[in-house]
């Protein structure tokens, strides 16, 4: 199973990618997670990427393509992978195509997650995460048992710097300008599959697992 999860920030790609990866035993490759880890570890890559990320801008194509190329070479991708948040530009999609075909592989499917804009802003601005164990919560939809405290490890919850209002607006603008063209790009290649992701997490997951079942590795 080799799939891409495409969609604006806040549509739930990451949450669904975690579940699908566990259910189908494939690797989840999230460029956002990889970049945030690099920022936390203060690596050269993290220091380079931090400013772009805080403002809601994209990190340069060559940086993320290199990250993904390394991850795809890992043994845990042998069974397949879910790409979450990559590609985000047409040049990234072209680079992905080249990396896969150089290894005799191709994508099976690109799932296009769709959620109305007002729901996206509500989802993102209410999102809280644990700086220690990375668990995520939502002030309305998935609140922690004790306000502001991580259920899993007891740490004080925080807000991602790019989940603040101004950064959200910037991320949505960038999505429309740079990532939305991928809908047409993959539609022309007959890989695009629309997915209504406005429902509850469990409902979306059920639909998604049904759609992806034919691509399960045998």
Q: What are the residue numbers of the active site?
A: 13, 88, 127, 160, 171
Phi, psi of 129 (to 5 degrees): -140, 160
| Token pair of 108 as six digits | 């099976």
Query: Is residue 31 involved in binding ligand AMP (CB under 6 A)?
Result: yes
Beta carbon of residue 146, minimum distance to ligand AMP (angstroms, whole number): 26
Residue with token string 């931090």: 50
Beta carbon of residue 76, minimum distance to ligand AMP (angstroms, whole number): 20
Q: Which of 80, 63, 69, 55 is nearest to 169 (CA)?
A: 55
* Choices 71-79, 85-93, 107-115, 131-139; region in contact with ligand AMP by CB under 6 A: 85-93
CA 152, CA 44: separation in Å to the nearest integer? 30
Query: Is residue 130 involved in binding ligand AMP (CB under 6 A)?
Result: no
Query: Is residue 56 involved in binding ligand AMP (CB under 6 A)?
Result: yes
> Which regions of the chain does DSSP assign to beta strands (E)?
2-6, 27-30, 81-84, 109-114, 127-129, 136-138, 192-196
Residue placing its CB nearer to ligand AMP in the complex, 135 or 149: 135
Query: Is residue 85 involved in binding ligand AMP (CB under 6 A)?
Result: yes
Query: Is residue 52 involved in binding ligand AMP (CB under 6 A)?
Result: yes
CA 109, CA 154: separation in Å to the nearest integer? 39
| Token pair of 207 as six digits | 């639909």
CA 171, CA 99: separation in Å to the nearest integer? 27
The binder of ligand AMP chosen from 20, 64, 168, 191 (CB under 6 A): 64
Beta carbon of residue 18, minimum distance to ligand AMP (angstroms, whole number): 12
Query: Is residue 7 involved in binding ligand AMP (CB under 6 A)?
Result: no
Beta carbon of residue 207, minimum distance to ligand AMP (angstroms, whole number): 21
In this structure, is the dihedral angle defined by the CA atoms of residues 82, 85, 87 and 90, taken in order, positive or negative? positive
| Token pair of 60 as six digits | 């340069």
Query: Which residues are paired to 187 by β-bridges?
Result: none
Beta carbon of residue 218, minimum distance to ligand AMP (angstroms, whole number): 30
Query: Is residue 9 involved in binding ligand AMP (CB under 6 A)?
Result: yes
- Per CB under 6 A, residues contacting ligand AMP are 9, 31-32, 35, 52-53, 56-59, 64, 85-86, 88, 92, 162, 171
């Amino acid at each position: 199973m080799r799939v891409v999860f495409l969609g604006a920030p806040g549509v739930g790609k990451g949450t669904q990618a975690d579940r699908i990866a566990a259910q189908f035993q494939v690797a989840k490759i999230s460029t956002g997670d990889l970049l945030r880890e690099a920022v936390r570890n203060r690596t050269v890559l993290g220091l380079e990427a931090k400013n772009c990320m805080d403002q809601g801008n994209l990190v340069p194509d060559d940086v993320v393509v290199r990250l993904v190329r390394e991850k795809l070479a890992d043994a845990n991708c042998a069974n397949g992978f879910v790409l979450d948040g990559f590609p985000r530009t047409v040049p990234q999609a072209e680079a992905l195509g080249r990396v896969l075909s150089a290894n005799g592989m191709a994508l099976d499917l690109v799932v296009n997650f769709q959620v109305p804009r007002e729901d996206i802003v509500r989802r993102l601005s209410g999102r809280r995460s644990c700086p220690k164990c990375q668990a995520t919560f939502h002030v309305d939809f998935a609140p922690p048992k004790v306000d502001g405290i991580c259920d899993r490890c007891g740490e004080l919850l925080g807000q991602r710097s790019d989940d603040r209002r101004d950064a959200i607006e910037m991320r949505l603008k960038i999505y429309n300008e740079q990532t939305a063209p991928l809908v047409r790009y993959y539609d022309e290649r007959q890989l695009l599959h629309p997915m209504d992701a406005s429902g509850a997490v469990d409902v979306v997951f059920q639909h998604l697992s049904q759609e992806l079942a034919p691509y399960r590795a045998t």
